[in-house]
C-alpha cells in the first residue's frame, strides 16, 4: 500500500531553551529530524516536511542530506497548531501518515503496523504513569471517541493515563473533509489536529487506537528529554554492532555516533568516542580513545589516542597521547606522545615519542611526507613542508627543516659538553 507522509516541524520548541531550532538538536551525531526522515524514507517517497520557525535553516540542512523531500511552509500566523500544519498540503496517496520532527526514536517497522490496520484513522496511544502535558484519549469498545488536550481537560479527564502519542494514519478523505472544519476555540487558540478525531467519530468514521512503545514514541521537548532519547539511541546502536560481532567493554561508557560502521571483528574498550562517518575494520580501539570521521583498518589505537577527521590508518599502531589529523599512515608505529598532522607515512616507519609535525606556519598548513622504514628519533620536530625519503634515520631531538634523501642520517644537535666536577663547584661539597 502506498502512503504519503507529513512530518510536522513548524513549532518553535520553546521548552528546549535554545537558539538552535528543536528538530536540529542532535541525537547520536544527527539532528532529530534526520532520524525520523531516515525511517520515513523506508516507507514512502512522498514526504512533506512542514516548517515555519527557522524554516530556512532546517530546509537547507535537509536539502543537503536528503533527496526528493517536499517542503510546506505553514500559515502559522493565521492557522497555528498541529491542525494548521496540515492545511494546504497536496498528498499523492490515499493514506497519510503524520509524524513529528521531534520523535527521533520511532522505527520504520513500528510505523508499518499502522498500515496494516483497516480504519479511517489509526492513532498511536500510550499508557503513561505521568500523562502530564499529553492529550488524553477517550476509548470506548476498542474505538477512539475523542482526544482532549491537557490544557482543556476537566478533572475526570486529567486522571486518564491513556494518551495520544502524536502519530496518526488518516485517509486523505478524512483530512480533506475535516481540516477545514477545525476551530481554534480552545485554551491555546490553536487549530488542533486532534480535534479531527471527535469530528470524524460523530460522522461515523472508524478510528482505531494502536498501543505503541513509549521507548520509541516519546517526544523530545526539553534537554532532559534529549539526554534520555540519546541513551536509548546509544543502546540501540551498540546492541546492533554487538550483534554484528563487535566487542564492547562496558558499552554504556562509550559514545558511538549513528554514521560509524564496523567491519569484521573489532573491539572497543571502555570510554571511547567514535564520531562522524568513521569506518573501523578489524581493529582494536583501546580505552578512552576518540576517533572522528576516519578510516581505520587492521589497527590498534590507544589507550588515550585522538584520531581527528580525514585520517586513513592501515596496519598501524597508535599509542597513548598520540594525535593524528588528516593523515594517511600505512604500516606505521607511533607509540607515544606525538602530533601527526597533514602527513603521509609509509610502511615500516617508526615514529619516536614526542615527534611533532609542525604543519602550520601561522598562515598555511603544509604536508609532511615520510617514506618506508624511516626511524624518527624521539623529540623530533618535522617542519613542513617536508619530505623524508625511504631508509632514513632521524636522530633524537632533531629539528628538520630540509628534505632528507634516501638512506641518510639527519642529526641537528648542539654538541654535548661534559664539565667534570662542575656540580661540586656550583653547590659545594655535600
Catalytic residues: 336
Q: Which does 163 bind (CB under 5 to 8 A by kind): Ca ion, ligand UD1, none?
A: ligand UD1
Number of residues that bind Ca ion (CB under 5 A): 1
Whole-angstrom CA distances from 52 to 25, 261, 353 are 17, 35, 55
**Taking a C-beta distance cutoff of 8 angstroms, is the pair 121, 231 a contact?**
no
Q: Smallest distance from the beta carbon of 98 to ligand UD1, in angstroms?
A: 9
Residue nearest to ligand UD1 (CB): 135
Q: Which residues contact 60 (CB under 8 A, 6 or more apart)?
A: none
Q: Smallest distance from the beta carbon of 126 to Ca ion, in angstroms?
A: 13
Q: Smallest distance from the beta carbon of 97 to ligand UD1, in angstroms?
A: 14
Q: Smallest distance from the beta carbon of 75 to Ca ion, in angstroms?
A: 20
Q: Which does 5 bind (CB under 5 to 8 A by kind): ligand UD1, Ca ion, none?
A: none
Q: Which does 9 bind (CB under 5 to 8 A by kind): Ca ion, ligand UD1, none?
A: ligand UD1
User: 95 pairs with which residues across the strands?
Assistant: 171
**Taking a C-beta distance cutoff of 8 angstroms, is the pair 229, 27 a contact?**
yes
Sign of CA dihedral 120, 122, 123, 126: positive
Closer CB to ligand UD1, 74 or 355, in the complex: 74
Closer CB to ligand UD1, 191 or 241, in the complex: 191
Closer CB to ligand UD1, 192 or 205, in the complex: 192
Does position 410 interact with ligand UD1 (CB under 6 A)? The reply is no
Residue window 199-238: x/- pattern of binding to ligand UD1, with contact defined by CB under 6 A: --------------------x-------------------
Closer CB to ligand UD1, 134 or 339, in the complex: 134
Whole-angstrom CA distances from 423 to 24, 417, 429 are 65, 14, 9
Does position 288 interact with ligand UD1 (CB under 6 A)? The reply is no
Closer CB to ligand UD1, 182 or 394, in the complex: 182
Number of residues that bind ligand UD1 (CB under 6 A): 27
Q: Smallest distance from the beta carbon of 94 to ligand UD1, in angstroms?
A: 22
User: Can you give the chain as a three-state secondary structure string?
Assistant: CCCEEEEECCCCCHHHCCCCCHHHCEECCEEHHHHHHHHHCCCCCEEEEEEECEHHHHHHHHHHHCCCEEEEECCCCCCCCHHHHHCCCCCCCCEEEEEECCCCCCCHHHHHHHHCCCCCEEEEEEECCCCCCCCEEEEECCEEEEEECHHHCCHHHHCCCEEEEEEEEEEHHHHHHHHHHCCCCCCCCCCCCCHHHHHHHHCCCCEEEEECCHHHHCCCCCHHHHHHHHHHHHHHHHHHHHHCCCEECCHHHCEECCCCEEECCCEECCCCEEECCCEEECCEECCCCEEECCEEECCEECCCCEECCCCEEECCEEEEEEEEECCEEECCEEEEEEEEECEEECCCCEECCCCEEECECCCCECCEEECCCCEECCCCEEECCEEECCCCEECCCCEECCCECCCCEECCCCCCCCCCCHHHHHHCCC
Closer CB to Ca ion, 209 or 219, in the complex: 219
Does position 21 interact with Ca ion (CB under 5 A)? The reply is no
**Taking a C-beta distance cutoff of 8 angstroms, is the pair 364, 384 a contact?**
no
Q: Smallest distance from the beta carbon of 359 to Ca ion, in angstroms?
A: 47
Closer CB to Ca ion, 114 or 134, in the complex: 134
Residue window 187-226: x/- pattern of binding to Ca ion, with contact defined by CB under 5 A: --------------------------------x-------
Task: List binders of ligand UD1 among 98-157 (CB under 6 A).
Answer: 100-102, 134-135, 147, 149
Closer CB to Ca ion, 14 or 401, in the complex: 14
* Measured distance CA(102)–CA(278) in Å, rounded: 26
Does position 166 interact with ligand UD1 (CB under 6 A)? The reply is yes
Task: List binders of ligand UD1 among 58-97 (CB under 6 A).
Answer: 74, 76, 80-82, 84-85
Q: Smallest distance from the beta carbon of 203 to ligand UD1, in angstroms?
A: 20
Residue nearest to Ca ion (CB): 219
Q: Which does 122 bind (CB under 5 to 8 A by kind): Ca ion, ligand UD1, none?
A: none
Task: List binders of ligand UD1 among 175-194 (CB under 6 A).
Answer: 192-194
Interface residues with ligand UD1 (CB under 6 A) are 8-11, 50, 74, 76, 80-82, 84-85, 100-102, 134-135, 147, 149, 163-166, 192-194, 219
Interface residues with Ca ion (CB under 5 A) are 219
Amino acid at each position: 500500500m502506498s502512503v504519503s507522509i507529513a512530518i510536522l516541524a513548524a513549532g518553535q520548541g520553546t521548552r528546549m531553551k535554545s537558539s538552535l531550532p528543536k528538530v536540529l538538536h542532535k541525537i547520536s551525531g544527527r539532528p532529530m529530524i534526520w532520524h525520523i526522515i531516515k525511517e520515513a524514507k523506508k516507507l514512502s517517497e512522498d514526504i512533506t516536511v512542514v516548517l515555519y520557525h527557522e524554516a530556512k535553516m532546517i530546509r537547507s540542512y535537509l536539502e543537503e542530506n536528503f533527496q526528493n523531500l517536499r517542503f510546506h511552509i505553514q500559515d502559522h500566523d493565521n492557522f497555528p497548531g498541529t491542525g494548521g500544519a496540515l492545511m494546504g498540503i497536496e498528498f499523492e496517496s490515499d493514506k497519510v501518515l503524520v509524524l513529528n520532527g521531534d520523535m527521533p526514536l520511532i522505527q520504520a517497522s513500528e510505523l508499518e503496523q499502522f498500515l496494516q490496520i483497516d480504519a479511517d484513522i489509526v492513532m498511536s496511544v500510550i499508557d503513561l504513569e505521568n500523562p502530564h502535558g499529553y492529550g488524553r484519549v477517550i476509548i470506548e469498545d476498542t474505538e477512539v471517541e475523542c482526544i482532549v488536550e491537557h490544557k482543556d481537560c476537566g478533572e475526570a479527564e486529567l486522571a486518564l493515563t491513556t494518551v495520544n502519542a502524536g502519530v496518526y494514519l488518516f485517509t486523505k478523505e478524512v483530512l480533506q473533509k475535516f481540516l477545514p472544519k477545525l476551530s481554534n476555540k480552545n485554551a491555546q487558540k490553536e487549530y488542533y489536529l486532534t480535534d479531527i478525531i471527535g469530528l470524524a467519530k460523530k460522522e461515523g468514521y472508524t478510528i482505531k487506537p494502536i498501543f505503541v512503545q513509549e521507548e520509541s514514541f516519546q517526544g523530545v521537548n526539553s534537554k532532559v528529554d534529549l539526554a534520555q532519547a540519546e541513551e536509548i539511541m546509544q543502546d540501540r546502536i551498540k546492541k546492533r554492532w554487538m550483534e554484528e560481532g563487535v566487542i564492547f567493554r562496558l558499552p554504556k561508557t562509550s559514545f558511538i555516533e549513528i554514521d560509524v560502521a564496523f567491519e569484521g571483528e573489532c573491539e572497543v574498550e571502555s570510554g571511547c568516542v567514535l564520531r562522524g562517518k568513521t569506518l573501523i575494520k578489524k581493529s582494536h580501539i583501546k580505552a578512552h580513545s576518540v576517533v572522528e570521521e576516519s578510516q581505520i583498518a587492521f589497527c590498534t589505537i590507544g589507550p588515550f589516542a585522538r584520531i581527528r577527521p580525514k585520517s586513513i590508518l592501515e596496519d598501524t599502531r597508535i599509542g597513548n597521547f598520540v594525535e593524528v589529523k588528516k593523515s594517511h599512515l600505512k604500516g606505521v608505529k607511533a607509540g607515544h606522545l606525538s602530533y601527526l598532522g597533514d602527513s603521509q607515512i609509509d610502511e615500516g616507519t617508526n615514529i619516536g615519542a614526542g615527534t611533532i609535525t609542525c604543519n602550520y606556519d601561522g598562515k598555511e598548513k603544509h604536508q609532511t611526507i615520510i617514506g618506508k622504514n624511516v626511524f624518527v628519533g624521539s623529540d623530533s620536530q618535522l617542519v613542513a613542508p617536508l619530505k623524508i625519503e625511504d631508509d632514513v634515520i632521524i636522530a633524537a631531538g632533531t629539528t628538520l627543516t630540509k628534505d632528507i634523501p634516501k638512506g641518510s642520517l639527519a642529526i641537528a644537535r648542539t654538541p654535548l659538553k661534559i664539565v667534570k666536577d662542575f656540580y661540586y663547584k656550583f653547590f659545594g661539597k655535600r
